[in-house]
A and B are shown apart, each in its own frame.
Chain A
Amino acid sequence: MAIALRTLDDGAWISVDDSRRVSVSDVWTLSRGVFCECEPAYVLLEGFFGTGVDGSVVVADAVGQCLECGTRDSIDRLPVGRIVDGEFKPYSPEAVQSTLESDAGRQA
């Protein structure tokens, strides 16, 4: 079943099937090297600028800042949730994450 994925409201949300499921302004915990050299890196997401799917994983492109070292950068293909039996299951921002390498299935 096709999933409708898009960024909404100037990048404030990732919308999944017309429901606002992932919000900016959460702090995501990322493993070292994904965003900066902090271990782990606590990264505030300030805006989404793209989203897509990789298999069953929903990924987002975002702009963020590390709360420890202050690095401000974009991050591509951050896994933000999975599609399970047609339902979106969001990942917890507090769980340590790394980004996906594949470039398949992107939607701006």
Chain B
Amino acid sequence: MPSDVEQWKDELYGTDIRAEIERFAEEGWDAIPDDEHDAWFERFKWYGLYHQRAGQESYFMMRIGPPGGVLEPGQFREIVEIADDFSRGPAENPVFGNGWIDVTTRQAIQLHWIRLEDVPEIFDRLESVGLSTVQACGDSWRNIVGCPVAGKDKHEHVDADALATELHDTFKRNEAHSNLPRKWKVSVTGCDEGCGQGDINDLAFEPAEKEIDGETVTGYNIRVGGGLSRNEPRFARDIDVFATPEQAVDVAGGISALFRDNGDRENRYNARIKFLMDEWGPEKFRETLQEEFVDFELHTAGEDLRESYSYNAGEADGKHDHVGVHEQPDGNYYVGLNVLVGRIGVDEAYDLADAADEYGSGEVRLTQRQNIVFTDVPEENVDDLRSEDVLEHYSPDPHPFQRGSIACTGTEFCSLSIVETKNRQVRYARWLVDNVELPDGVENFHVHLSGCTASCAQPQIADVSLRGMKTRKDGEPVEALDIGLGGGLGEDPQFAAWIAERVPADEVPGAIANLLENFEEARDSEAQSFREFVAEREDEELADLIEPEETDYDDPFMHNTKRTWYPYAEEDDLDESPAPAQADGTPIPSDD
């Protein structure tokens, strides 16, 4: 029997939702019938609107997805102005204030505290600069990720931006692909460093070469079925298909249609294509694709470039992220800036928009490590850009603990998360910078904090993986984290092994400090990477090296942050919530 979600989608989905959003916005929050909340909030996701968690009713998260993370000149500033005008909550965040933008691990931007009544104006303003929230959430083609410096990088093999944009233009608002069994995440990599992170996507285009009719053609090998969620991580499987740039959209459409027609619509927990791939295997998948979903002969896979992948790949030669100053093929530079946990306050975001305009082309790109990149900076401008005050915090040369930090949204807004994340990860990074010496030779050290098994912070592909949990300490339930080690991408990607479970959150910085000290003592040599060190040891031995302990690190979020309406409010009890609220923020009284 199809799920409720499938029935709601059958009744109304896709572009038809827009008129209903505008109607509700015009009439106000109360116009949404009480007994239709679940259905409408599910549909709103298709337009990038996600109802915030309990205690925050009537407020929405809005996601904006530029393909490949490319924000053309003017687009970043418009988003900042929208955040300034509309993304303000009823209480302050102690670290980030009130009003910010979040850069996500899928090269999108999220705004919080959005009121339904403001959505039509926001949509108009986004569209006026060529942006959209369409399919940013929901069961369809999500934001297409890829090399964030496509077209600007010396390591480029094939133009990922061209394909990402073509896929975006073809499959957004495309009725035949609007209603899939589940979310559909696509990655396009064009470089020889592997920065598209294709291995963890439903559908991955990876650079390759193929001899066709006596000529060497550059294009893409195809992998399918990657993903991290639900304690069921999978790397995408090689389906032995090479697509020329001209064939790529048709192959993508065929695979999307295969998923549409064969994915599980009765059980949403079994609906992602990784489970279909488990069931079928790559050979049957390719056979079905060839026989039923494309009308030309598929090429077998070409020669890939995975051997040179360096992105998030331990100590391999090459770039591990896009932070820093890098020369473009045209002699200009791109400058990657570190954004700790992806969050930028509105005031600083204006300064960054100004700097991008003044010293570069005004283009701002978003990376899958929650950072931003300014492109097209002439050599003579690089020093002036670097001396801007705002780059002290959003640095092209950050400390490795800051550079390596990623955190998801957490209990601040998210329904699924078990623990507070962003503020905590900021505190962790600051404590580690102040208290822990990285072992000699360690220049990249990735710590990813995800609030739950949905894995939005991609914890399984970090040196130190942190995943939200609870434990009991001194007889009381407290927020805790599972600790995993040794994950990463590269030629041979590896998921982290979960080594220590239910470590109280206030003992995690001490655990990382002890782990690094023990690593330095026990490693073979300075040349041995942390990932290699982990790979050659059994879990039990690694567990002995973690040694969680309390330190002078102070964690103000040990209580059940989910039982609050907002974890940082002075009166944080759910009963004190000002939600739901009218458009002007006035609380709407409960019927009870």
Chain A residues near B (Cβ < 8 Å): 4, 6, 8-13, 15, 17-20, 23-27, 42, 44, 46-47, 49, 65, 67-68, 70, 108
* Contact digits for B400-436, partner A, Cβ 8 Å, 1 yes 0 no: 0000000000010001111000000000000000000
A-B contact pairs, 17 of them (CB 8 A): A4-B38, A6-B4, A12-B416, A18-B35, A19-B37, A24-B418, A25-B560, A25-B562, A26-B562, A46-B418, A67-B471, A67-B472, A67-B477, A67-B502, A68-B472, A108-B1, A108-B3
The answer to whether B291 has its CB under 8 Å from any CB of chain A is no
Q: Verify B418–A10 contact, CB threshold 8 A.
A: no
The answer to whether B469 has its CB under 8 Å from any CB of chain A is yes
- Residue among A13, A17, A46, A70 having the largest count of chain B Cβ atoms under 10 Å: A46
Q: Verify B38–A8 contact, CB threshold 8 A.
A: yes
Q: Verify B35–A25 contact, CB threshold 8 A.
A: no
Q: Verify B470–A10 contact, CB threshold 8 A.
A: no
- B417 contact from A18, A25, A26, Cβ within 8 A: A25
- Please give, as numbers and ranges, the residues of chain B lying within 8 Å of A26 by CB-CB distance: 560, 562-563
Closest to A68 in B: B472
Chain B residues near A (Cβ < 8 Å): 1, 3-4, 34-38, 42, 53-54, 230, 267-269, 411, 415-418, 452-454, 468-472, 477, 501-502, 560, 562-563
A9-B415, A46-B452, A70-B502 known; A27 and B470 CB under 8 Å?
yes
Q: Verify A23–B35 contact, CB threshold 8 A.
A: no
Q: Verify A10–B471 contact, CB threshold 8 A.
A: no
- Please give, as numbers and ranges, the residues of chain B lying within 8 Å of A17 by CB-CB distance: 34-35
Q: Verify A24–B38 contact, CB threshold 8 A.
A: no
- Residue among A10, A18, A19, A25 having the largest count of chain B Cβ atoms under 10 Å: A25
- Please give, as numbers and ranges, the residues of chain B lying within 8 Å of A25 by CB-CB distance: 411, 416-418, 452, 468, 470, 560, 562
Bound form: Cα–Cα A12–B41 in Å: 14
A9-B415, A25-B418, A67-B470 known; A46 and B453 CB under 8 Å?
yes
Q: Verify A11–B269 contact, CB threshold 8 A.
A: yes
Q: Closest CB of chain B to A96's CB: distance in Å?
A: 15
Given contacts A10-B454, A18-B38, A46-B452, 14 further A-B pairs with CB under 8 A are A6-B4, A8-B42, A10-B416, A19-B34, A23-B562, A25-B452, A25-B562, A42-B477, A44-B470, A47-B453, A67-B470, A67-B472, A68-B472, A108-B3
- B416 contact from A9, A19, A49, A70, Cβ within 8 A: A9
Bound form: Cα–Cα A31–B545 in Å: 35
Please name the 9 residue pairs, one residue from A and one from B, whose CB atoms are nearest each other, closest first. A12-B415, A18-B37, A25-B418, A12-B416, A44-B470, A27-B477, A20-B54, A25-B562, A9-B415
- Please give, as numbers and ranges, the residues of chain B lying within 8 Å of A23 by CB-CB distance: 54, 415, 562
Closest to A5 in B: B4
Q: Closest CB of chain B to A19's CB: distance in Å?
A: 7
Bound form: Cα–Cα A68–B1 in Å: 38
- Please give, as numbers and ranges, the residues of chain A lying within 8 Å of B469 by CB-CB distance: 44, 65
Closest to B471 in A: A67
Closest to B451 in A: A25
Q: Verify B35–A4 contact, CB threshold 8 A.
A: yes
A11-B269, A23-B562 known; A18 and B34 CB under 8 Å?
yes
- Please give, as numbers and ranges, the residues of chain A lying within 8 Å of B53 by CB-CB distance: 12, 20
Closest to A24 in B: B416
Closest to B36 in A: A18
- Please give, as numbers and ranges, the residues of chain B lying within 8 Å of A67 by CB-CB distance: 470-472, 477, 502
- A44 contact from B3, B38, B415, B418, Cβ within 8 A: B418
Closest to A11 in B: B269
Q: Closest CB of chain B to A44's CB: distance in Å?
A: 5
- Please give, as numbers and ranges, the residues of chain A lying within 8 Å of B42 by CB-CB distance: 8
Q: Closest CB of chain A to B38's CB: distance in Å?
A: 5
A18-B36, A46-B452, A47-B453 known; A10 and B268 CB under 8 Å?
yes
- Residue among A8, A10, A15 having the largest count of chain B Cβ atoms under 10 Å: A10
Bound form: Cα–Cα A9–B138 in Å: 10
Q: Closest CB of chain A to B507's CB: distance in Å?
A: 15
Bound form: Cα–Cα A18–B57 in Å: 12
- Please give, as numbers and ranges, the residues of chain A lying within 8 Å of B477 by CB-CB distance: 27, 42, 67
Bound form: Cα–Cα A64–B477 in Å: 15
Bound form: Cα–Cα A26–B470 in Å: 9
Bound form: Cα–Cα A101–B54 in Å: 30
Closest to A8 in B: B38
Q: Closest CB of chain A to B412's CB: distance in Å?
A: 13
- Please give, as numbers and ranges, the residues of chain B lying within 8 Å of A70 by CB-CB distance: 501-502
Q: Closest CB of chain A to B480's CB: distance in Å?
A: 8
- Please give, as numbers and ranges, the residues of chain B lying within 8 Å of A13 by CB-CB distance: 54, 415
Bound form: Cα–Cα A47–B417 in Å: 10
